[in-house]
């Protein structure tokens, strides 16, 4: 009996890229004859014809399956839903814009047969990406790998070929605040890395603005490291020592008859600086507290409005 491969594809407003992706993945699937294929599209509350196109593909190809959300829950929810609904012995996660080249699938499967639990991909270059985005991306990977025990490879993509055992382990991590790049590394398993040059989108526009990427990176840092809390504690302790030392200096100067310098400008500057440090530390605490607050609510990661089985 053939083993099944589930191709999980999160989609958000991808009406232009969907038909192109489907044709490409169908071509590559012919090279994986020993596997039974299914294509699982996750419609993340799209406002265009994405869901309509998926349904059209379903009508002509029963290997196409889908899950449609009640609203936009984000890519992380789409990934989680795809893993939950995938029926395959192996699962591939990839983007619909063809920045994850389908022609790598046969090579990825060959490494799985050698005994690897997952074959992951990374970009060897950031060609075509805005320089400012590339700079901050590199800084993020350097920072997170220094302060976290979970390794997140620079340039790593979500494009991965995984065994069912690994996917089940990922699903066991049912947290609401999800950062998949960190989760993939945290669960472990034997990994083979493939590198390829950056590929531009086949159609449509990216949904990731610089601000969204910045917020996502902060989520990643707080999800897999408590170092910011330690930094806040250290900064607070340091300024306590400096304040205590300053008090001693003032008393010594006073008893020595040395007049202290007075000035409202310098005083306001010091107060503003210390106030900024305090707000920064409170903000760091707030980030972790907000994550805890959301987790304790136990809200679902997503709400599925419709699947191919309900129609």
At 145-158, the pLDDT tens digits run 676 666 666 667 88
| Rounded distance between C-alpha atoms, residue 229 and residue 17, angstroms | 42
For the segment 6-10, the average pLDDT, to the nearest whole number, is 91
| Separation in Å, CA 277 to CA 48, 235, 269 | 45, 8, 12
Q: What is the pLDDT of residue 208?
A: 58
At 83-104, the pLDDT tens digits run 988 998 999 998 888 888 888 8
Is residue 121 pLDDT above 80, yes or no? yes
At 269-278, the pLDDT tens digits run 667 677 767 7
Is residue 35 pLDDT above 80, yes or no? yes
For the segment 281-294, the average pLDDT, to the nearest whole number, is 73
Domain ranges of the chain: 3-225+300-310, 227-297
Q: What is the pLDDT of residue 16?
A: 84
Indicate the fold that domain 3-225+300-310 takes in CATH.
Answer: Spore Coat Polysaccharide Biosynthesis Protein SpsA; Chain A (3.90.550)
Is residue 187 pLDDT above 90, yes or no? no
| Separation in Å, CA 89 to CA 37, 61, 102, 165 | 10, 20, 19, 9
Is residue 201 pLDDT above 60, yes or no? no
At 126-146, the pLDDT tens digits run 665 666 666 666 776 676 667
| Rounded distance between C-alpha atoms, residue 61 and residue 55, angstroms | 10
| Rounded distance between C-alpha atoms, residue 129 and residue 200, angstroms | 9
User: Can you give the pTM of this predicted structure?
Assistant: 0.69
Is residue 41 pLDDT above 90, yes or no? yes
């Amino acid at each position: 009996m053939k083993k099944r491969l589930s191709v999980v594809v999160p989609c958000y407003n991808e009406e232009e890229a969907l038909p192109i992706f489907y044709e490409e993945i169908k071509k590559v699937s012919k090279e994986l004859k020993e596997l039974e294929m299914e294509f699982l599209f996750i419609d993340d509350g799209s406002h265009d014809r994405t869901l309509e196109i998926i349904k059209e593909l379903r009508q002509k190809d029963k290997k196409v399956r889908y899950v449609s959300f009640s609203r936009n829950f984000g890519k992380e929810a789409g990934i989680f839903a795809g893993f939950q609904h995938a029926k395959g012995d192996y699962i591939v996660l990839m983007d619909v814009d063809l920045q994850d080249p389908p022609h790598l699938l046969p090579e990825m499967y060959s490494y799985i047969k050698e005994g690897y639990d997952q074959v992951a991909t990374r970009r060897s270059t950031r060609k075509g990406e805005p320089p400012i985005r590339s700079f901050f991306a590199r800084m993020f990977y350097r920072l997170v790998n220094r302060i976290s025990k979970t390794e997140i490879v620079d340039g790593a993509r979500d494009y991965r070929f995984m065994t069912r055992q690994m996917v089940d382990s990922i699903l066991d991590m049912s947290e609401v605040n999800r950062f998949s790049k960190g989760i993939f590394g945290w669960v472990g398993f034997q990994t083979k890395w493939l590198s390829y040059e950056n590929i531009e989108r086949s159609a449509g526009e990216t949904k990731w603005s610089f601000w969204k990427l910045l917020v996502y990176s902060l989520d990643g840092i707080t999800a897999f490291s408590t170092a910011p809390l330690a930094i806040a504690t250290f900064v607070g302790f340091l300024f306590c020592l400096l304040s205590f030392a300053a008090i001693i200096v003032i008393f010594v100067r006073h008893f020595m008859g040395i007049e202290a310098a007075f000035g409202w400008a310098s005083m306001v500057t010091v107060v503003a600086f210390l106030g900024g440090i305090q707000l920064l530390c409170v903000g760091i605490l707030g980030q972790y507290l907000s994550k805890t607050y959301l987790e304790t609510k136990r809200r679902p990661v997503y709400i599925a409005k419709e699947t191919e089985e309900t129609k």
